[in-house]
Amino acid sequence: MKLRRRRPYRMGARAEATEATRRRILEAAKALFAERFYDEVTLDEVARRADVTVQTVIRRFGSKEGLVDAGITDLTPVVRAQRAEAPVGDVAGAVSNLFDHYEEWGAFSLRILAQEERVPPFRRVTDGGRRLHREWVERTFAPFLAGRKGRRLAQLASLTDVHVWKLLRRDHGLERPEAERALAEMIQALIEA
């Protein structure tokens, strides 16, 4: 009797393919939410852009809201790691770190902020973003907050908000180095006051 050799089951390859599909779906959703408002994005479009079926999107994420929540879960550690690279007590270094983040995520953040009042999953994103930003300000500017945390923290959090980046870069048309210098000067003036 001849024994038939079984082909080894490759769980690793299947898991990799599943993760690759998940990533494609999340990237497609991120791109669409960056281009359009929440209610203008459909699961059909996400599926088409990710080159999967709508059923695959639903099976993986449950709904459009589930898709947003999964994106938040994936993105939060990435943003935390990026922002954690800011040097403590170094205004110019902190501003450079902040601009690295806003140059990549600023437009997306502004679109999400514009919808936070009417899209509950986006409100969760913005609430988490505000907490993360406040933590970043507390850590990065800790040497300048000693004994003056309340108002000074609010001032620094406001100066380093994405809206100020938008004003400097988009509304006033400053090139990045000039915008960074302008923000660093405003922060320096505040901490020296």
For the record, the structure tokens of 133 come out as 């930003």
CATH 1.10.10.60 domain position(s) in the chain = 12-62
Sign of the four-CA dihedral 141, 144, 148, 153: negative
72 vs 106, more confident: 106
Query: Tokens 């599909």 label which residue?
Result: 21
**Residues 37-50: what's their mean pLDDT?**
94
Rounded distance, CA 161 to CA 155, Å? 10
Q: What is the pLDDT of residue 72?
A: 85
69-192 is classed CATH 1.10.260: no
Give the burial string for 148-166 (b: 16+ CB within 10 Å, else e). Answer: eeeebbebbbebbbbebbb
CATH 1.10.357 domain position(s) in the chain = 69-192
Q: Encode pLDDT of 124-179 as tens digits.
A: 889 999 999 999 999 999 999 987 778 999 999 999 999 999 999 999 999 999 99
Looking at 1.10.3720.10, 1.10.10.60, 1.10.287.130, 3.40.930.10, the CATH number of the domain 12-62 comes to 1.10.10.60
User: Any idea what DSSP says for residue 168?
Assistant: I
Amino acid identity of residue 24, one-letter, is: R
Q: What is the pLDDT of residue 86?
A: 94
CB-based contacts of 61, cutoff 8 Å, min separation 6: 25, 67, 70
The pTM (predicted TM-score) of the whole model is 0.81
Contact 82, 99 (CB under 8 A): no
